[in-house]
Amino acid sequence: MVPLVSKLYCSSTEVVYVVRKRPHVINGGGFVVTNCDQKVVFSVDGCGILGKAEELILRDERRNALLLIRGKGGIFEALSFNKIWNAYRYDFQGSKKLVFSLRKPKSCLPVDKDTGIRITTKPNLGKKDWDFEISGYFPGKESSIIDSQGNLVAQIGKNKKAGVLLSKDLYYVSIKPGIDQAFVVGVIAILDNIYGESTSC
């Protein structure tokens, strides 16, 4: 897989990270991602910090911004059958470059699976074309990211991993070799916001 954010975040081996939610009363919410040594490798700032609904920032371990993530709203959203999120990174001149788009179908019926949430990495792909799909149920932390060939890219779960016992505010993400870890955490940030968790207002 070609790195989507940076080759710095692609490992030759599988990695397991722990995601820890931050309460809104502490640092405005969001979450941090740590490795097996409990060192922060990514963090996500949400509405509680930024003050803007449906806007998130993915940061590296030094708090440098990697991705700006925005949900499309207004008339576009009202006329669409999907809720769309776009993730951008900044180039050296400061202009935004689209990295990926996540599309979640709107439904008036309650669903208990994430089937239908799809991700494209090419701006010109049509609605029926996609590169990745979410399967499982994110609020239950039983969810996966798979590619268009059916290969597992990342697994989100609640089991004991990385040598720590996980609580309701902790869960793990296992990312396959060669997959851009920043991309995976960006997808998790959107799912967190969609389901009204730590990054939402």
pLDDT reported for residue 99 = 92
Residue recorded with tokens 């709107």: 106
pTM metric for this prediction:
0.86
The topology (CATH level 3) of 11-107+131-195 is Porin (2.40.160)
Domain ranges, ordered by start, for the chain? 11-107+131-195
Consecutive H or E run containing 170: strand 170-175
pLDDT reported for residue 72 = 78
Nearest residue to 190 via CA among 14, 31, 8, 18 = 31
Q: Write the pLDDT tens digit of every residue in 45-101.
A: 987 777 777 889 999 999 999 999 998 765 444 445 568 899 999 765 566 889 999
Ranges of the chain whose pLDDT falls below 70: 1-2, 24-28, 73-82, 91-95, 106-115, 124-128, 159-167
